[in-house]
Amino acid sequence: MRMFLFFAAVSAVIACTNLFGNKTQPTAEVMIEARQAMKLEAPKPIAVTPQLNITSKEDLIGYWVGTGLSMDTTATSADMNEYNYEKINFSIDSIQGDLVFGHTVWLGKSRAFKGNMQNEGGFYMMRVNQEGDDKWVGTFIANIAQSDSVMNIVWEPQNTKIDQSIDLTLTKTLFVYSPDYSLEDGGQFIDYQKSKQVTETYTDEDGQKHEYVDDSYFTTTDEVFKYNPSKQLLTKEQVENMTKADIFVLRNSIYARHGFAFHLPALRDYFGYMGWYVPVRTSIEHELSDTEIKNIELLMRYEEHAKEFYDVFGR
């Protein structure tokens, strides 16, 4: 009895002394302040002409964007069929004489390239090499007719183990961030790599019940269309009843609007389908608005809580 009262008193004292110090993680306010301090260092946009039909060499500068099959390093052959909207951003950053400099944002990575160009018979032709030495580094051979707006590219891997080149059709895209970009331009988010087996039943014409085992994937509901976390401050009440996948996609929609190059193939495919999405950068912390930072913090809180506690005994 005494032991217990002693324990209760001690734990109460420990609780009260530790509690009132603020030991929480960095809050949205702290992040907003930090970002304002860093604002000066934000990357400058590349100078591009708004000209989408190529009338001169300078008009080539800018983002050239298109979709191709998934070529993810982790993807199995099955996944290649599932993901068809792998967007590539072939960015020509500067042209100095015959030299072309730029970078690609592709498969969740940004890679610099450089090479040569020439103008022959009304065609601009380029041959550029990506820098780096991993498996997915290669050479782009591009051509576009003068006054045309479509660039045809063949990508050839440097790695001889990959026996396949990729044909790409790219158009020049003037990407700017907008909080208005909507998820309704897309389909349903499905992560084919996250599934579990479920048993479904159906009744056939004879009234007989049958059971079969199917894969149930990590996927969103229509709830994601109700909110835009880049425009409105979400409330606890709105977020607390959302499913894990909905929270996950809403949070990532913020990054997508800023042109984040996702590492997860399912996210690249999901946003790649949307016309407004262009993979532009691999880091977006300094681009976020105050509303977005606050929403990310809130969504993250519930996402992690759901991950840890949704389907377990406890809390």
Partner 1 sequence: MFSDVKSTLRDALFIGLLMYFSFLMLEITLQYIPVNLDVAFLRIKQDVIGLTHYQIAFFTHVFTSMFALLAGFTQFSFFLRKKYPLVHRGIGKLYVIVILLLSGPSGLIMGYYANGGWSSQWAFMLLAMMWMYTTWKALSTARSKQFDQHRSWMIRSYALTLSAITLRFWKWLIVGIFEPAPMDAYRIVAWMGWIPNLLFAEFIIYKNKKG
Using rule CB under 8 A, residue 41 touches partner 1: no
In angstroms, rounded to a whole number, what is the distance separating the alpha carbons of residues 33 and 102? Answer: 33
For the chain, what is the HEC assignment?
A: CHHHHHHHHHHHHHHHHHHCCCCCCCCHHHHHHHHHHHHHHCCCCCCCCCCCCCCCHHHHCEEEEEEECCCCCCCCHHHHHHCCCEEEEEEEEEEECCEEEEEEEECCEEEEEEEEEEEECCEEEEEEEECCCCCCCEEEEEEEECCCCEEEEEEEECCCCCCCCEEEEEEEECCCCCCCCCHHHCCCCEEEEEEEEEEEEEECCCCCEEEEEEEEEEECCHHHHHCCCCCCCCCHHHHHCCCHHHHHHHHHHHHHHCCECCCCHHHHHHHHCCCCCCCCECCCHHHCCHHHHHHHHHHHHHHHHHHHHCCCCCC
Nearest CB to partner 1, comparing residues 33 and 308:
308
Closest separation between CB of residue 12 and partner 1, Å?
7
Using rule CB under 8 A, residue 236 touches partner 1: yes
Using rule CB under 8 A, residue 11 touches partner 1: yes
Site string for partner 1, 54-73 (x = CB under 8 A): --------------------
Closest separation between CB of residue 204 and partner 1, Å?
24
Closest separation between CB of residue 271 and partner 1, Å?
24
**Under 8 Å between Cβ of 108 and 268:** yes
Using rule CB under 8 A, residue 126 touches partner 1: no
Q: Who's near 247: CB < 8 A, 6+ residues apart?
A: 239, 299, 302, 303, 306
Nearest CB to partner 1, comparing residues 19 and 78:
19
Using rule CB under 8 A, residue 16 touches partner 1: yes
Using rule CB under 8 A, residue 310 touches partner 1: yes
Using rule CB under 8 A, residue 2 touches partner 1: no
Using rule CB under 8 A, residue 197 touches partner 1: no
Q: Which of residues 20-39 bind partner 1 (CB under 8 A)?
A: 20, 23-25
Using rule CB under 8 A, residue 98 touches partner 1: no
Using rule CB under 8 A, residue 213 touches partner 1: no
How many chain residues interact with partner 1 (CB under 8 A)? 33
Q: Which of residues 240-279 bind partner 1 (CB under 8 A)?
A: 240-243
Closest separation between CB of residue 173 and partner 1, Å?
37
Closest separation between CB of residue 78 and partner 1, Å?
25
Using rule CB under 8 A, residue 1 touches partner 1: yes
Q: Which of residues 276-305 bind partner 1 (CB under 8 A)?
A: 301-302, 304-305
Place of tokens 């809180």: 301
Using rule CB under 8 A, residue 215 touches partner 1: no
Which residues contribute to the site for partner 1 (CB under 8 A)? Answer: 1, 4, 8, 11-12, 14-16, 18-20, 23-25, 236-237, 240-243, 301-302, 304-306, 308-315
